[in-house]
């Protein structure tokens, strides 16, 4: 399983764009890159998934360079409600019976 | 309901007591997962069911932990003779696998277990 490294914490202000980078140097060919978000007292929630290049949805964008050894989650114009822990996960999860392997995550704090 | 529900939301147990935590997955979801989340850490996998079959229990920390899903829907995680180190949030998730890529898992709110 690919090991991931991401910052423990980040601070931002409302209205700013936030980029959280995750390193996964030993990513395998079949691995996908997936991000989950977790608010206090809630379970994690799927945000976005990608394999290569760029993926965008209504919540975030995910940038993956050609070598796939890192990825960047981009949150446009954050608000206070984006304060949460963000987890980067890498794996071909369906091959593992679907179980997710979480790291420590990045605790994002958005200030007014 | 629309999402995964778990009960109770909070449980306080005295050391040595047995506890049972319930998970109601999204209706029709074949796969069900249990995770344990210690304070300040990411969730850690405990066990996985596909319908009523427990296909992976490699994450259960000891034989005091037992999970079942007898009819392929509701699941119960039981912890016998609770210890203080069992204090954590226990999360349940479900999904409908298609065998391709990452299939989103839908998590419940968790049960916070405190063992005194």
So what's the pLDDT on residue A17? Answer: 97
So what's the pLDDT on residue B85? Answer: 96
So what's the pLDDT on residue B96? Answer: 84
Q: How confident is the model at residue B92 (pLDDT cuts 50, 70, 90)?
A: very high
**Are A94 and B48 inside 8 Å of each other by CB?**
no
**Are A46 and B44 inside 8 Å of each other by CB?**
no
CB-CB neighbors (< 8 A) of A105 in chain B: 42
So what's the pLDDT on residue A1? Answer: 61
Q: Please state the φ and ψ torsions of residue A37, each to the nearest 5 degrees.
A: -120, 140
Res B101 pLDDT > 70: no
Averages of pLDDT over each 10 residues, chain A, 112 residues: 88 97 92 94 94 93 96 96 96 72 93 96
* Torsion from C-alpha of B40, A38, B46, A95, nearest 10 degrees: -130
By the CB < 8 Å criterion, does A49 face chain B? yes
User: What is the distance between the alpha carbons of residues A82 and A74, in angstroms, rounded to a whole number?
Assistant: 12
**Are B41 and A44 inside 8 Å of each other by CB?**
no
Q: How confident is the model at residue B69 (pLDDT cuts 50, 70, 90)?
A: very high
By the CB < 8 Å criterion, does A28 face chain B? no
So what's the pLDDT on residue B94? Answer: 94
So what's the pLDDT on residue B49? Answer: 94
So what's the pLDDT on residue A96? Answer: 59
Picking from B33, B55, B109, the nearest residue to A42 by CB comes out as: B109
Q: What's the pLDDT tens digit per position in B12-49?
A: 999 999 999 999 999 999 999 999 999 999 999 999 99
So what's the pLDDT on residue A100? Answer: 87
What is chain B's mean pLDDT, rounded?
A: 93
So what's the pLDDT on residue A35? Answer: 95
Query: Would you list the DSSP string of B55-66?
Result: EE-TT--STTEE
Copy the structure tokens of residue A105: 């995550």
Closest-CA distance of chain A to residue B27, Å:
18
So what's the pLDDT on residue B2? Answer: 81
Picking from B42, B95, B101, the nearest residue to A103 by CB comes out as: B42
What percent of chain B is modeled with pLDDT above 70?
A: 95
* Torsion from C-alpha of B19, B111, B106, A103, nearest 10 degrees: -100
Element (H, E) at B34: strand B31-37
**Are A45 and B109 inside 8 Å of each other by CB?**
no
**Are A99 and B45 inside 8 Å of each other by CB?**
yes
Place of tokens 């850690």: B44
So what's the pLDDT on residue B73? Answer: 95
């Amino acid at each position: 399983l690919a090991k991931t490294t991401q910052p423990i914490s980040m601070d931002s202000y409302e209205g700013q764009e936030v980029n959280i980078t995750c390193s996964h140097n030993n990513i395998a060919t079949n691995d996908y890159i997936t991000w989950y978000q977790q608010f206090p007292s809630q379970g994690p929630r799927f945000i976005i998934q990608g394999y290569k290049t760029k993926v965008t949805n209504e919540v975030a964008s995910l940038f993956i360079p050609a070598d796939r050894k890192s990825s960047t989650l981009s949150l446009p114009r954050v608000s206070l409600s984006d304060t949460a822990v963000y987890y980067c996960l890498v794996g071909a999860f369906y091959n593992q019976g679907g179980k997710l392997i979480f790291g420590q995550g990045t605790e994002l704090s958005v200030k007014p | 309901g629309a999402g995964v529900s778990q009960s109770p939301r909070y449980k306080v147990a005295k050391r040595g007591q047995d506890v049972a935590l319930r998970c109601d997955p999204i209706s029709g979801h074949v796969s069900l997962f249990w995770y344990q989340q210690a304070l300040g850490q990411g969730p850690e996998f405990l066990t996985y069911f596909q319908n009523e079959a427990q296909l992976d229990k490699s994450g259960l920390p000891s034989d005091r932990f037992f999970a079942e899903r007898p009819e392929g829907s509701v699941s119960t995680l039981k912890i016998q003779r609770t210890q203080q180190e069992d204090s954590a949030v226990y999360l349940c998730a479900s999904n409908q696998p298609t065998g391709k890529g990452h299939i989103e898992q839908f998590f419940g709110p968790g049960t916070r277990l405190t063992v005194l």
